Every structure is written in C-alpha cells, then in structure tokens.
Structure 1
Amino acid sequence: MDANATVVTPIRVRGYHLDGYGHVNNARYLEFLEEGRWDYFDRHPDLAEVVRRERLGFVVVNLNLDYRRPAVAGDDLEVVTSIAEIGTRRMRIRQRIRHAVSGRAVADADLTFLLMDFSTQRAVTIEGEVRDRLAALVVAS
C-alpha cells in the first residue's frame, strides 16, 4: 500500500455554506466530498495521468451519505479520502468529513464509481496499469 493512500483535505466552513438553521447545508457536504476527491487525484498524478491517457474516467453511480453531526461557520473540517475496494468494473471510495481538532465525525460517505471509456461512453473493466495503480492505494477497512 502507498504511504499516501489516504488523503486529508482541509475545509473551512464559510457563511455561504450554511442553511437557514446556521448549519452546513446538506448539499454542501457533497461539494466538500468532491473537493476531497479532486485533491485525492491531484496528489496521485500518476493515476490521473494514466486515466487521461487512456481516455477513461471515473463516474459516480452510487452515493451513500450519513450525516453524523452539524458543522457551523468557522469550523475547520477535514475530508479524509481513500479507496476502499476495487471490483471488476467498479471501485468504492470511502470518505469521512470530521472536525479537524476533535476528529469527531460530521459525515461518512461511500461512493461507487464505474470506469468509463469516454470514446464509447461505456463502462470498462478495471485492468492493466489503471488496476495496478489503484490496487497500490487500497486502504483496508
């Protein structure tokens, strides 16, 4: 396993993230999770490059999100992102949003992705160099 298999992305909660109750709006958590995933691939440019070179991409097909506790303006959060599982055509990424200081969970998410061939617009088997690079990043649950 790669020593950088888990990526921690800092997020500062801003006023525009809040709903009418003064908590982070539920839809904003999806943006926080997406920021964590972009950061993950930014920190693994070799994986991102092989996917781009092959004209492939990871497409979200399922998202399970559990909200644990509210976050409010000024909170410093961390989005923890890791690859949990690789199947034949799917992979699962596990993400947790937590308070940076206490480590207490704010939200937990499992996302399932298909590997898509952009030229055919069809899911393809995760194999070869893509599979090898992903396999080195899997974090056991």
Structure 2
Amino acid sequence: MSASLSRVQLRVRGYHLDGYEHVNNARYLEFMEEGRWDFFDKHPAMIKELHQAGRAFVVVNLNIDYLAAARQGDDLEVMTGIIEVGERSGICHHRIVRSDGTLIAQADLTFVLLDVRANKASAIEGDVRQALADLTLAKEAFTA
C-alpha cells in the first residue's frame, strides 16, 4: 500500500441513516473528511509547517458521485489521496467501497492554499508544492 493513500475502515451505524434506511448523503461528507484527517495525520510535518507559515488548506469545491446505497452494518473503506497539484489549487480524490467490493461513492475535492492573514488563496510553491507533488497518485492507485 502506498503511504500516499489513506485507508480508513468504518461501519455504518444507525445514526448515519436517513428515513429510507440508507446512509444519508450528508454523512458521506463526514466519511470523506475522516479520510482527509487520516491522510494528514500520516503527514503531520506538512500541516505544522503550513500553520507556522500562516497557511491552511481550504475546500473550494466538491463533486460527489453517489453510486450505491450503504446500509446499517455495512463495512466501508474510505480511500483518500491527492491526484493533482496545480499552481493555485489541488485535487483530493475519495473513494468509498463496501467490503463486498461495491463502489458506494467517489468524489473529487478541490482545495486551495489559504493565506490566513490576507484571507485569500496563495500560490502552491516551494517545499509545500514539492511535498504535495511527492504524495500525488494516479486515480488507478485507488483500485489496486
């Protein structure tokens, strides 16, 4: 397994469900956020360096494809990784798969590097750019 790909296991609980007895669409945002936290937990130096420089990663767009229903008791794996780094933004890919191999949902999340003091996006450059580039994966890595 690549160190650049985060894998989080979780079980669907009753409180994740909506009135139709499947995972509520908003819960998938939480599942994916758990994947991002795990990803950055594996790379703490990057976050520490950003905070010291007055920078932060901020979500600016999220596109989710809901492909199958997850229900109470399902065991899911949330995979998270960076698939693209541009001059001013990057893309984090998420894939949620049930233990039987069914792809439940996938998403591409666009982030920018925020200059906290100026409250505006800044260029992704220098050591941060190199660190992100070193962690970048092809989408095919999510199916391996």
Q: How far apart, in 2, do the equivalents of 1:11 and 1:44 lie?
A: 21
Q: CA RMSD in A?
A: 1.2
TM-score (norm 2): 0.93
Equivalent position of 1:103 in the other structure: 101
1:36 partner SS: helix
Q: How far apart, in 1, do the equivalents of 2:45 and 2:137 lie?
A: 18
Checking the alignment, whether the CA contact within 8 Å between 1:50 and 1:129 is kept in structure 2 is no
Q: How far apart, in 2, do the equivalents of 1:117 and 1:103 lie?
A: 40
User: What CA deviation, in whole Å up to 9, does each residue of 1:78-137 have, x standing for no partner?
Assistant: 1100100000000000000111x2222100000000110101101000001111110110
For residues 1-141 of structure 1, the aligned pairs below 5 Å read: 3-99=2-98, 101-141=99-139
Identity of aligned residues (%): 52
Checking the alignment, whether the CA contact within 8 Å between 1:13 and 1:73 is kept in structure 2 is yes
Give the AA of the match of 1:50. Answer: E
1:115 partner SS: strand
Unaligned runs of 5+ in 1: none
TM-score (norm 1): 0.95
User: Aligned pairs, how many?
Assistant: 139
Which contiguous aligned blocks of 4+ residues in structure 1 show a shift greater than 2 angstroms? none
Checking the alignment, whether the CA contact within 8 Å between 1:7 and 1:81 is kept in structure 2 is yes
Structure with the bigger RCO (C-alpha within 8 Å, sep 6+) is 1
Q: How far apart, in 1, do the equivalents of 2:2 and 2:10 lie?
A: 22
Deviation at 1:52, TM superposition (A): 1.4
Deviation at 1:14, TM superposition (A): 0.6
Give the AA of the match of 1:112. Answer: T
Unaligned runs of 5+ in 2: 140-144
Q: How far apart, in 1, do the equivalents of 2:90 and 2:58 lie?
A: 10
Deviation at 1:3, TM superposition (A): 3.5
Give the AA of the match of 1:68. Answer: L
Q: How far apart, in 2, do the equivalents of 1:26 and 1:10 lie?
A: 18
User: What CA deviation, in whole Å up to 9, does each residue of 1:62-92 have, x standing for no partner?
Assistant: 1100001000111111110010000000000
Q: How far apart, in 2, do the equivalents of 1:18 and 1:45 lie?
A: 32
